[in-house]
Amino acid sequence: MTEAFALLIPVAAITAMVVRRYWWLTRIRSWSMYPTLRPADCVPTRRIRGTKPVRRGDIVVIDSAELGRRVVKRVIGLPGETVEVSPHGVTVDGVPLAEPYVAAHGGPAGRFRVPAHAYVVLGDNRPQSSDSRSWMTPYVPATAIRGRLGT
Protein backbone atom coordinates (compact mmCIF):
# COMPACT_ATOMS: atom_id res chain seq x y z
CA MET A 1 0.00 0.00 0.00
CA THR A 2 2.84 2.40 0.84
CA GLU A 3 4.51 1.77 -2.54
CA ALA A 4 1.25 2.48 -4.37
CA PHE A 5 0.81 5.71 -2.41
CA ALA A 6 4.40 6.74 -3.12
CA LEU A 7 3.76 6.24 -6.84
CA LEU A 8 0.49 8.18 -6.67
CA ILE A 9 2.15 11.44 -5.57
CA PRO A 10 4.41 11.93 -8.63
CA VAL A 11 1.63 10.77 -10.98
CA ALA A 12 -0.73 13.35 -9.44
CA ALA A 13 1.93 16.06 -9.68
CA ILE A 14 2.62 15.33 -13.36
CA THR A 15 -1.10 15.23 -14.13
CA ALA A 16 -1.59 18.59 -12.39
CA MET A 17 1.26 20.14 -14.41
CA VAL A 18 -0.14 18.86 -17.70
CA VAL A 19 -3.67 20.07 -16.88
CA ARG A 20 -2.35 23.46 -15.76
CA ARG A 21 -0.40 23.84 -19.02
CA TYR A 22 -3.56 23.52 -21.12
CA TRP A 23 -6.37 24.65 -18.79
CA TRP A 24 -7.13 27.21 -16.10
CA LEU A 25 -10.21 28.48 -14.25
CA THR A 26 -11.66 31.83 -15.27
CA ARG A 27 -13.65 33.74 -12.67
CA ILE A 28 -16.49 35.79 -14.14
CA ARG A 29 -16.45 39.35 -12.75
CA SER A 30 -19.39 41.13 -14.42
CA TRP A 31 -22.95 40.72 -15.66
CA SER A 32 -21.95 41.20 -19.32
CA MET A 33 -22.34 37.49 -20.17
CA TYR A 34 -25.62 36.92 -18.27
CA PRO A 35 -27.60 34.62 -18.46
CA THR A 36 -24.89 32.29 -19.81
CA LEU A 37 -22.42 33.25 -17.07
CA ARG A 38 -22.89 35.11 -13.78
CA PRO A 39 -20.48 37.02 -11.56
CA ALA A 40 -18.42 34.68 -9.36
CA ASP A 41 -18.86 31.70 -11.73
CA CYS A 42 -15.61 29.77 -12.22
CA VAL A 43 -15.39 28.25 -15.67
CA PRO A 44 -12.74 25.89 -17.08
CA THR A 45 -10.84 27.60 -19.88
CA ARG A 46 -8.66 25.89 -22.47
CA ARG A 47 -5.61 27.75 -23.66
CA ILE A 48 -5.63 28.69 -27.35
CA ARG A 49 -2.65 27.08 -29.04
CA GLY A 50 -3.51 27.78 -32.67
CA THR A 51 -4.57 24.21 -33.42
CA LYS A 52 -8.31 24.83 -33.31
CA PRO A 53 -9.59 28.05 -34.88
CA VAL A 54 -11.90 30.42 -33.04
CA ARG A 55 -15.48 30.04 -34.26
CA ARG A 56 -18.55 32.25 -34.10
CA GLY A 57 -20.33 31.60 -30.83
CA ASP A 58 -17.19 30.65 -28.89
CA ILE A 59 -16.87 32.31 -25.50
CA VAL A 60 -13.29 33.51 -25.21
CA VAL A 61 -10.92 35.12 -22.71
CA ILE A 62 -9.25 38.20 -24.15
CA ASP A 63 -6.24 40.20 -22.95
CA SER A 64 -7.63 43.70 -23.46
CA ALA A 65 -4.84 46.25 -23.84
CA GLU A 66 -7.47 49.01 -23.85
CA LEU A 67 -9.04 47.94 -20.55
CA GLY A 68 -5.81 46.67 -18.99
CA ARG A 69 -7.35 43.35 -17.92
CA ARG A 70 -8.76 40.09 -19.18
CA VAL A 71 -12.39 40.03 -20.32
CA VAL A 72 -14.81 37.27 -21.31
CA LYS A 73 -16.95 37.76 -24.45
CA ARG A 74 -18.66 35.82 -27.23
CA VAL A 75 -17.17 35.80 -30.75
CA ILE A 76 -19.70 37.27 -33.21
CA GLY A 77 -17.70 38.51 -36.22
CA LEU A 78 -14.96 36.58 -37.99
CA PRO A 79 -12.17 37.97 -40.22
CA GLY A 80 -13.53 39.43 -43.47
CA GLU A 81 -17.16 39.64 -42.33
CA THR A 82 -19.38 42.68 -41.95
CA VAL A 83 -21.26 42.74 -38.65
CA GLU A 84 -24.14 45.11 -38.02
CA VAL A 85 -25.50 45.52 -34.50
CA SER A 86 -28.86 47.23 -33.98
CA PRO A 87 -31.33 47.50 -31.09
CA HIS A 88 -33.17 44.53 -32.64
CA GLY A 89 -30.29 42.11 -33.16
CA VAL A 90 -27.19 41.30 -35.16
CA THR A 91 -26.63 40.58 -38.84
CA VAL A 92 -23.49 39.04 -40.32
CA ASP A 93 -22.97 39.82 -44.01
CA GLY A 94 -26.65 40.83 -44.14
CA VAL A 95 -27.99 37.60 -42.62
CA PRO A 96 -29.73 37.81 -39.20
CA LEU A 97 -27.80 35.93 -36.53
CA ALA A 98 -29.83 33.56 -34.33
CA GLU A 99 -28.76 34.30 -30.76
CA PRO A 100 -30.79 32.26 -28.25
CA TYR A 101 -28.17 33.04 -25.57
CA VAL A 102 -28.81 36.84 -25.58
CA ALA A 103 -30.50 38.14 -22.42
CA ALA A 104 -31.64 41.39 -24.01
CA HIS A 105 -30.70 43.45 -27.05
CA GLY A 106 -29.75 47.07 -26.58
CA GLY A 107 -26.76 49.24 -25.96
CA PRO A 108 -24.67 50.88 -28.67
CA ALA A 109 -25.30 50.01 -32.32
CA GLY A 110 -22.67 49.90 -35.02
CA ARG A 111 -21.37 48.44 -38.23
CA PHE A 112 -18.02 46.65 -38.31
CA ARG A 113 -15.95 45.35 -41.22
CA VAL A 114 -13.74 42.82 -39.47
CA PRO A 115 -10.10 42.94 -40.64
CA ALA A 116 -7.91 39.89 -41.22
CA HIS A 117 -6.66 38.17 -38.05
CA ALA A 118 -9.25 39.94 -35.85
CA TYR A 119 -12.71 39.38 -34.37
CA VAL A 120 -15.77 41.29 -33.17
CA VAL A 121 -16.93 40.19 -29.71
CA LEU A 122 -20.08 41.00 -27.74
CA GLY A 123 -21.47 40.20 -24.32
CA ASP A 124 -24.67 38.16 -24.05
CA ASN A 125 -26.25 40.84 -21.84
CA ARG A 126 -26.01 43.58 -24.46
CA PRO A 127 -27.30 46.55 -22.41
CA GLN A 128 -24.78 45.77 -19.63
CA SER A 129 -21.76 44.84 -21.75
CA SER A 130 -18.64 46.79 -22.60
CA ASP A 131 -17.54 45.12 -25.82
CA SER A 132 -16.56 45.76 -29.46
CA ARG A 133 -19.43 48.25 -29.81
CA SER A 134 -18.01 50.63 -27.21
CA TRP A 135 -14.26 50.03 -27.29
CA MET A 136 -11.99 52.57 -28.98
CA THR A 137 -10.46 49.65 -30.90
CA PRO A 138 -13.45 47.42 -31.69
CA TYR A 139 -11.51 44.59 -33.30
CA VAL A 140 -9.87 41.96 -31.10
CA PRO A 141 -6.60 40.71 -32.61
CA ALA A 142 -6.31 36.93 -32.76
CA THR A 143 -3.14 37.23 -30.66
CA ALA A 144 -5.15 38.76 -27.78
CA ILE A 145 -7.40 35.70 -27.42
CA ARG A 146 -5.93 33.59 -24.63
CA GLY A 147 -8.49 30.83 -24.19
CA ARG A 148 -11.86 29.33 -24.98
CA LEU A 149 -14.30 28.62 -22.16
CA GLY A 150 -15.46 25.10 -21.49
CA THR A 151 -14.03 23.34 -24.54
32 included as an active-site residue: yes
Q: Letter for the amino acid at 144?
A: A
| Active-site residue, selected from the candidate residues 52, 73, 130, 132 | 73
| Active-site residue, selected from the candidate residues 32, 52, 64, 129 | 32
Q: Which residues pair with 24 in a beta bridge?
A: 45
52 included as an active-site residue: no
**Cβ neighbours for 8, distance < 8 A, ≥ 6 positions apart:** none
**Cβ neighbours for 45, distance < 8 A, ≥ 6 positions apart:** 23, 24, 25, 26, 61, 146, 147, 148, 149, 150
Which are the catalytic amino acids? Answer: 32, 73
